[in-house]
Amino acid sequence: MSQNKTPIKAKIILEADSIIIEYIKIVQNTCNMFAFITSNLNDIPFDEIPKPPIISNIKLGDIDYVGDKKNYLDMWLFNHGMNDIIKAINISLGLANYLAEITSLNKTNIKYGEYIEFEKRLNKKYLKKDLPALIDLTSKLVNKPLIYVEEIKSINDVRKCHEHRSGIVTEIDTNSNDGEIPNLKMKWIGNQLSYERNGDEFIIYKTGVSLDKGDLLKLSNIKKSKSFEIGERIRTDINTFYELAWTGFLFIKHIADNFNFGKR
């Protein structure tokens, strides 16, 4: 005699924090690799790249480089580092739209096989979208206007220039006309450390500043930018790279913090 079996139910938990987790997962690995590479670059042959931060007293081993170290660092920074930041943003935006569409299944019965197919269609749908299209779609899923959109788009403009034109700015790459001269402007959000003493605020530019016990430390987000003229090679430094990653994080966190599952 056959026995009645209780149907197995799948519990799907939708959390906007997963949007942030995906971004951090990719960018953290990228920043760790960047720190590892630069920690093995001695006597870097150009001044604008500062010494890497000390992250450990463990020596992981030397890297054998083929060719000029400057070219190697540039190649990695833009072909991998910048790409990974934009890739992480794209995936997070795609996930936000994916989560919004999943809510359409609320209070409906669906076979497991149908759900798998539904999930595959969503993944394929949003993987095909480019960054501007994903930003436009995602702007409709949050309760507040998106922040730092110009910064994210400009970082992507710089990435495309390096990927398609080896980092040499051409007229097609320009996105600004500051001073009536077309140029490629990269915008991002940087960090500024300062302290307040007797009502006055002082910006800390370097280590070794002497502080009193009553001084109030303050870490602020500030807008930064850098312009590259036509024919100029795009260059940046380690600190800026980390700030670009920070800009992406602030952008994605704002989406997660203000996500509305009811919109679609």
Token code pair at residue 209: 């500043």
The Cα 70–Cα 126 span in angstroms is: 36
Q: Determine, yes or no, domain membership for 221.
A: no
Containing structural domain, residue 79: 17-169+233-257
Q: Which residues, listed in sequence order, are joined to residue 206 by a DSSP beta bridge?
A: none
Q: Determine, yes or no, domain membership for 245.
A: yes
Give the residue carrying structure tokens 């480019």. 130
Asked whether 91 and 29 are in contact (CB, 8 A), the reply is: no
Asked whether 46 and 70 are in contact (CB, 8 A), the reply is: yes
Quote the pTM value: 0.77
Q: Determine, yes or no, domain membership for 7.
A: no
Does the pLDDT of residue 185 top 60, yes or no? yes
Q: Determine, yes or no, domain membership for 106.
A: yes
Q: Is 151 exposed, middle or buried (0-12, 13-18, 19+ CB in 10 A)?
A: buried
The Cα 42–Cα 121 span in angstroms is: 48
pLDDT at 57: 38
The Cα 187–Cα 105 span in angstroms is: 39
pLDDT band at 58 (very low <50, low <70, confident <90, very high): very low
Q: Determine, yes or no, domain membership for 51.
A: yes
pLDDT at 74: 62
pLDDT at 38: 66
Token code pair at residue 185: 């402007």
Higher pLDDT, 216 or 262: 216
Three-state DSSP class for 224? strand
Q: Determine, yes or no, domain membership for 94.
A: yes
Does the pLDDT of residue 7 top 70, yes or no? no
Token code pair at residue 135: 């930003």
Over residues 127-159, the pLDDT tens digits come to 778 999 999 999 999 999 999 999 999 999 999
Q: How many domains, in total, are found in the chain?
A: 1
pLDDT band at 65 (very low <50, low <70, confident <90, very high): very low
Per residue in 2-27, is it b (16+ CB within 10 Å) or e — as a string?
Answer: eeeeeeeeeeeeeebebbbebbbebb
Does the pLDDT of residue 68 top 80, yes or no? no
